[in-house]
Amino acid sequence: MPRIAAIDCGTNSIRLLVADVTEHDDGHRSLRDVHREMRIVRLGEGVDATGRLAPAALARTRDALADYTAVCRRKGVERVRMVATSATRDAGNRDEFFDMTRAVLGVEAEVISGDEEARLSFTGAVGDLEPQDGPFVVTDIGGGSTEVVTGTWDGRRAEVTGALSTDIGCVRITERCLRGDPPTSEEIAAGREFAEATLARAFERVPVAGTRTWIGVAGTITTLSAVAQDLPAYDSERTHLSRLSDNEIASVAGRLLGASRAERGAIGAIHPGRVDVIGGGALITQVLADNLAERAGINGILVSEHDILDGIALSLL
C-alpha cells in the first residue's frame, strides 16, 4: 500500500499525518503513524468579524504548509489529501488561500461541507474502540465550528446515523463573547447562551438518544484532559483514551474560565497557541456534557487523539 499523507487546515491549527497502511487478513486496513505534527496558525483570526482571511494568517499558514510539503517529500509520500474547514468556508477572499495551497503543496485543497467534516471525524475517532461500546456520539470542537456525529462501528467499517456541523468553536466564541481577561461572569453567561442556542440545532437533528459512549476529539478536548491530569507538559500518550467525568469537565472549565491569560499561559500542558481560546473551548465542552447527560444519560467523555486527520487519511484508501 502507498505511503499517504493527510493535512487538516482548520480555523486555529494546521496538522499533518504521514502514515503507512497495513492490510489485515480480514480485509480491515489500519494506519501506522510515520509522522504527526500540529502548528497553531490561527487562519480564522478575525474572520467572524471581517469575513476575510487576514494577510498575516495566510502567511503563517503558508510557512507551515511549506514545512509540511518538505516533510512529505523527505518521507516519500505518494498520495496526499488536504482538507480545509470552517475558516475558508466563511471567507470572502478564500481564493487567495487556494492559490497559495496549490502553489506550495502542488495539489488542490478541498473545502468540505460541515457534514463531511463530521463524518471524517467520526471515522477517525472510532477505529480504536470496541463495537459493543457503541452506538457512539463523537464531538469535534474546532476553532470555528463544532461537529456532533452519531453512528456505529463493527470493527471494520463505521456507519454514520446522524451528523451536523454548527457555527461555534473555541476561536469564534472567544472573539464574540469572552473578551475579558479573565472573562466576566456576564461574558461567560453570554458565551453559554450562544453555545446552548447554537448546539441546540445539532441535538434537534442528530439522534443522540440511545448512544452509549461519548468520544471527544481534536485539540480542545485533548488539552482539557491534559490540564485535568495536571500533566507538566502535553503528552498525547497520556491523553489518548483517557476519560473525564462531567464533574471533571465542569471543574477544569471553571478553572480555565476563571484564570487570566497569564495564568493559563503558565500551565505547561496548554500549547501557547491555545492559551487565549481554551476557556471558550472548555465552555462549549461543558454545554455538550450537559446536553448529553440530559438527552442520552451519558456521564463523561472518552478522549481520543485520533480524529478528522485519521479520517482524511483513511479516505485515501
CATH number for the domain spanning 72: value is 3.30.420.40
pTM: 0.79
CA max distance for the chain:
57
Q: Are residues 149 and 274 in the same domain?
A: yes
Q: Give the 3-state DSSP-derived string for 177-224, with helices as H, strands as E and coil as C.
A: CCCCCCCCHHHHHHHHHHHHHHHHHHHHHCCCCCCCEEEEECHHHHHH
Share of the chain above pLDDT 90, in %: 68
Instruction: Pick the range with the lowest mean pLDDT from 112-121, 156-165, 274-283.
Output: 112-121
Determine the average pLDDT of the residues in 279-305. Answer: 96
Query: Residues 184-223: pLDDT tens digits?
Result: 999 999 999 999 999 999 999 999 999 999 999 988 999 9
Which regions of 86-145 does DSSP assign to beta strands (E)? 109-111, 136-141
Query: Residues 34-72: pLDDT tens digits?
Result: 999 989 898 988 887 888 999 999 999 999 999 999 999
pLDDT at 45: 85
Q: State the residue for C-alpha cell 486555529.
A: 12
Q: Are residues 107 and 132 in the same domain?
A: no
148 strand-pairing partners? 139, 164
CATH number for the domain spanning 205: value is 3.30.420.150
Query: Residues 303-315: pLDDT tens digits?
Result: 999 888 998 998 8
288 close to 137: Cβ distance less than 8 angstroms: no
When pLDDT is cut at 50, 70 and 90, the band that residue 24 belongs to is: low
Which residue range forms the structural domain that includes residue 39? 4-111
Name the residue type at position 312.
I
Last residue of a domain, one of 77, 111, 145: 111
Residue 187 has which C-alpha cell? 461574558
Tally of domains in the chain: 2
Q: Are residues 42 and 182 in the same domain?
A: no
Highest mean pLDDT among 15-24, 153-162, 275-284: 275-284
34 close to 20: Cβ distance less than 8 angstroms: yes
Cβ-based neighbours of 280, under 8 Å, separated by 6 or more? 170, 171, 172, 173, 174, 177, 178, 191
